[in-house]
Amino acid sequence: DIQMTQSPSTLSASVGDRVTITCRASQSISSWLAWYQQKPGKAPKLLIYKASSLESGVPSRFSGSGSGTEFTLTISSLQPDDFATYYCQQYNSYPLTFGPGTKVDIK
Amino acid sequence: EVQLLESGGGLVQPGGSLRLSCAASGFTFSSYAMSWVRQAPGKGLEWVSAISGSGGSTYYADSVKGRFTISRDNSKNTLYLQMNSLRAEDTAVYYCAKSLAARSSADGMDVWGQGTTVTVSS
């Protein structure tokens, strides 16, 4: 099974900050990676797929990069609505696996 | 509007059974693989199971293999998860989710239901 790790586990930031979250896979997954945002009590929301493709309707301040085993999610200028937990997920092969999550909270 | 609506959650004793349903609308259901993903209280997301659009291929996490069965009825646009031999560690919110691309296998998930809560406790 492919293991996913994320760093940091928690990130404290201010509105307007540039934020970067890293996701690593235990083996190469090419670009088969998605990023999700989840707020408390709500379902996850797809932000990025195929490592760098922005899902329709997602603000352009979100971007993804990487391939192989190392990936990043960047928020160019953090907005109040962006305080949430972010998960990466590989879909190179079954079983699908998620990273443990990165909580972005207010500094 | 593309929509997924889960139902069937509840309180069940250890060793008991429960069947979850997920009603889909707004897209060609039979063209998309579907997944169940769960989230234990205060924990992260865990993929549970997936099924191909035709229903001919199914996939399971090791943690539920042999106890849970995923199925679908494309005539009713409905996804199911039969859960047997439930354990306390199966307590979670269960989400159904639609695969991103038609006729894909392993995939990202672009539409999620609101979730249904399963509590396993005596």
Q: What is the 3-state secondary structure (H, E, C) of B92-106?
A: EEEEEEEECCCCCCC
- B5: contact with A, CB 8 A cutoff: no
Find the CB nearest A100 among B44, B108, B115.
Answer: B44
In the DSSP assignment, the letter for residue B63 is T
Q: Helix, strand or coil for residue A17?
A: coil
The DSSP-derived string for chain A is ---EEEE-SEEEE-TT--EEEEEEESS--TT-EEEEEE-TTS--EEEEETTTEEPTT--TTEEEEEETTEEEEEESS--GGG-SEEEEEE-SSSSPEE---EEEEE-
What confidence score (pLDDT) does residue B88 get?
A: 98
- B96: contact with A, CB 8 A cutoff: no
A106 pLDDT more than 90: no
What confidence score (pLDDT) does residue B101 get?
A: 87
Q: Which two tokens stand for residue A70?
A: 């190392």
* Mean per-residue pLDDT, A25-35: 98
Contact check, Cβ <8 Å, B35/A96: yes
Q: pLDDT, tens digit, for every residue of B32-85?
A: 999 999 999 999 999 999 999 999 999 999 999 999 999 999 999 999 999 999
Q: Helix, strand or coil for residue A49?
A: strand
Contacting residues of B for A37, CB less than 8 Å apart: none
Q: pLDDT, tens digit, for every residue of B90-99?
A: 999 999 999 9
What confidence score (pLDDT) does residue B49 get?
A: 97
**The length of chain B, given as a count of residues:** 122
- A34: contact with B, CB 8 A cutoff: yes
Confidence band of A24 (pLDDT split at 50, 70, 90):
very high
- The chain A residue lying nearest B6, using CA atoms, is A43
Q: pLDDT, tens digit, for every residue of A36-64?
A: 999 999 999 999 999 999 999 999 999 99
Contact B81, B61 (CB under 8 A): no
What confidence score (pLDDT) does residue A89 get?
A: 98
Residue whose structure tokens are 């998309």: B32
| One-letter amino acid for residue B9 of the chain | G
CA atoms of B49 and B99, how far apart (whole Å): 12
Average model confidence (pLDDT) across chain A: 97
The shortest C-alpha distance from B99 to chain A (Å) reads 10
* Mean per-residue pLDDT, B97-113: 91
Confidence band of B102 (pLDDT split at 50, 70, 90):
confident
